[in-house]
Structure 1
Amino acid sequence: MAKEFTFNPAQQSSNTASKIVAALERLSEAFRVLMWQEAKQHGISSTIQVQLLTFLLHYPKEQKTITYLAEHFNLTKATISDAVKTLEQKGYLKREVIPNDTRSHSLVLTKQGKSLAAKVEQFAQPMQKTIANIPSAQQAYLLEQLMEIIYDLNCNDVINVQHMCFNCNYYEQKSRGHYCQFVKKNLKAADLRVECPEFLLAEA
């Protein structure tokens, strides 16, 4: 059996899976370009700093730790710590001691940091507008398929556990589709969440 080369155009012509992988790679490149353009515009030296600012603007306090951020972004604590240190030196965030755990700190955006975060997260708008032009039913199907891919990558230890429906203890796959024990109702594909505040890791 001939060896497969995903990015070989000749192979892609007859291999749909390879074409999908190549398309996803192009999309990841688009995200990198958009983040880097936004970073340069605001004097930020790395795209991970853009991601950290966006995360800290929206997520709950208990998740704003270096340990959690490293897991969420699939990066080392050292990489996250370096980015945090830079943002801290620029006055965009500060550390607050977590009660009953003096060894850990919660990362909190300053007023200046919140203002910058609200600006830099606009990097995703071109992608958002493009997706919004897809019919709703196709958006729902695309969401479901992308979550299946993410879940499979997680199961194969390519990425860390994501706080989405398929990894959640409240989630069930039923004959009629998706079901959430937390809200006690069936879920349509469009109802599935990539990041859920009520997430509880499913038991192994």
Structure 2
Amino acid sequence: MALPPKFAGQKLASSAIQPAAVHTLELYLDYVCPFSAKMFKTVYTSPLRDTLTQKYGSQVVTIFRQQIQPWHPSSTLTHEAGVAVLKLAPNKFLDFSTKLFEQQKDFFDVNVVNETRNNTYKRLAKIAGSVGVDEKGLYELLEISDKPGEDGAMNTGNGVTNDVKVMVKMNRLVGVHVTPTVVFDGVVAGDISSGWTKEQWEEWLEKNIV
């Protein structure tokens, strides 16, 4: 959980190795949410990214929190693919996310309703492959068997199920519901909108990163 710098005394840390505390900016985004796509594009694929990493890089940690929205069944599948990328090539996660957000309409309800789960995974694996992730390896992590396990289990899950459980558990602790949701130093920043421009973000950062 995030620790605001004003509560830095609560952290056991050596200032020679790391600062006592930095701000934490958490963006809870869903791959099949149009408003999440808008916020991701502004924060991660515009000059605002340089502002966060260069101007404020020593003062704030920005985290993309994957938020599954279960009323869209494909949300779970797309986020499983994101978790698989984190396992295989974490340095490609933002590249994969950029591509997936660009193609998110391909995974909206009407475009997956007649598709098998594993075929959706195959399409997601191709997107991962397009940014340099092992496509075959990623699909193998996602594929669901159509045969019971050795113990007769039929809800066998896949190679990322346990990681997804942890991710969902973490998000539930914060109580996030809508996407996108921004949490700053552990508190929901309800004034931040998906429609904010780079300039609005920069004005907010100037006021809050102290």
Same fold (TM over 0.5): no
- Ranked by relative contact order (alpha carbons within 8 Å, sequence separation 6 or more), the top structure is 2
TM-score of Structure 1 vs Structure 2, range by shorter chain: under 0.3
**TM-score, normalising length from structure 1?**
0.26
